[in-house]
Amino acid sequence: MKVIKDNKKYKNIIYLLFVYLLLLITTPAFAQTVPQQSLKITPIINDLQLTSGKETTFPLTIQNLSDNPVGIHASLSGYDQIGEVPLYNQTPSTMTAWTMLSQQDILLSPHKTKTLTVTLTPPAQITTGGYYETIFLTPILNQEIIPGKPIILSRVGVLVLGTIGKLNYDDLAKKVTITNITPSQTILNSSPQTISFTVTNSYFTHFDAKPFLTITPLFEKAQTTLLEDKHVLPNSARIWQVTPQIKGLNIFYQLHLAVSIGNGKKVVTNTWFIVLPYNPVLLIIIIAAVLFLIIFKRRRLKKFVMILLKG
């Protein structure tokens, strides 16, 4: 009788284990996931010539490339989001005060497209200058918030640039400066790993900066690199960092930096540096000096001994 009871006990355990494994296989796993939002916005950069007191409009096309419906909230920001100055130290552009969006909340069906109309009406008595703003398009998720598991949203920024007044490229060239070029030392122990510089815009409007970096070793062919172009907004600066491709072993190098600002105008600066592995050189000089002194003193000692022996 005891054997029969034990067999029934084991059968029940095996049956429970089988049901548990079956539930694990057939029950779908629910995980906290962030839906992938796939949006295409055109145009992503809008460069406008504005007139004070006159209305200007442009369309903003939003396309949902995903298989799911997407809710989108549109908002304006007057801060330089791509600048080098922290946002809390910036004075926001006044452009947001005279910008209107046809819609702020949009629902897009899968693979559908909608057009958002942006209207800008500068005040009649506004001063000549360059203005900018960013239109942020943020997906709206209908998702349960679970403590300890944050929901990450990726938003798309559309840059709007507006110029009131005629752009004079000769005046612009006088207001653009290249500073903070590194390496700042004249004599280097090894070839520079990075070269960086800052382009500062003191003009009333923006421009597109396209830098050309040329490194010329002494008695060898120059090496020119076209760097990425960046928008430099009014009263702001942009920083570039590049890893130079310095070929061969040379000592003297000339660095020529030209920044194209448009309409055939450019701002240039020149500097130079010497690559001299001075630690090994100093070591060689010290060793040579020690050997010279040893040899010189040995000769003097030998001469002294010979004089004593000869009387």
Distance CA 93, CA 81 (A): 11
Amino acid letter, residue 272: W
8 A C-beta contact, residue 211 and residue 240: yes
Using alpha carbons only, give the angle 271, 275, 281 rounded to the nearest 5 degrees.
Answer: 145
Considering Cα of 80, then 82, then 84, then 86, what sign does the dihedral take?
positive
Using alpha carbons only, give the angle 119, 140, 149 rounded to the nearest 5 degrees.
Answer: 145
Instruction: Say which DSSP state 189 is in.
Output: S
Distance CA 74, CA 56 (A): 19
Please tell me the predicted confidence (pLDDT) of residue 15: 46
Distance CA 241, CA 222 (A): 20
Distance CA 72, CA 106 (A): 5
8 A C-beta contact, residue 261 and residue 207: yes
Please tell me the predicted confidence (pLDDT) of residue 57: 94
Please tell me the predicted confidence (pLDDT) of residue 37: 47
Side-chain half-sphere CA neighbours of 41 within 13 A? 19
Paired sense of beta strands 252-262 and 207-217, if any: antiparallel
Per-residue HEC secondary structure of the chain comes to CHHHHHHHHHHHHHHHHHHHHHHHHHCCCCCCCCCCCCEEEECCEEEEEECCCCCEEEEEEEEECCCCCEEEEEEEECCCCCCCCCHHHCCCCHHHHHEEECCCEEEECCCCEEEEEEEECCCCCCCCEEEEEEEEEEEECCCCCECCECCCCCCEEEEEEEEECCCCHHHHHHCEEEEEEECCCCEECCCCCCEEEEEEECCCCCEEEEEEEEEEECCCCCEEEECCCEEECCCEEEEEEECCCCCCCCCEEEEEEEEEEECCEEEEEEEEEEECCHHHHHHHHHHHHHHHHHHHHHHHHHHHHHHHHHC
Please tell me the predicted confidence (pLDDT) of residue 260: 95
Please tell me the predicted confidence (pLDDT) of residue 280: 63
Distance CA 101, CA 114 (A): 13
Q: What is the pLDDT along the chain (311 residues), one digit of tens a residue?
A: 444 445 555 555 444 444 444 333 333 433 333 344 478 899 988 889 999 999 999 999 999 888 888 888 999 988 876 666 666 667 788 899 999 999 999 998 889 999 999 999 999 888 888 888 999 998 876 555 566 665 556 778 898 988 888 888 999 999 999 999 988 878 777 778 889 999 999 888 888 899 999 988 887 888 888 999 988 888 888 999 988 877 767 788 889 999 999 889 999 999 988 887 766 666 667 677 667 766 666 666 566 556 656 65
Query: Which secondary structure element, helix H or strand E, spans residue 18, and what is its range?
Result: helix 2-26
Amino acid letter, residue 184: S
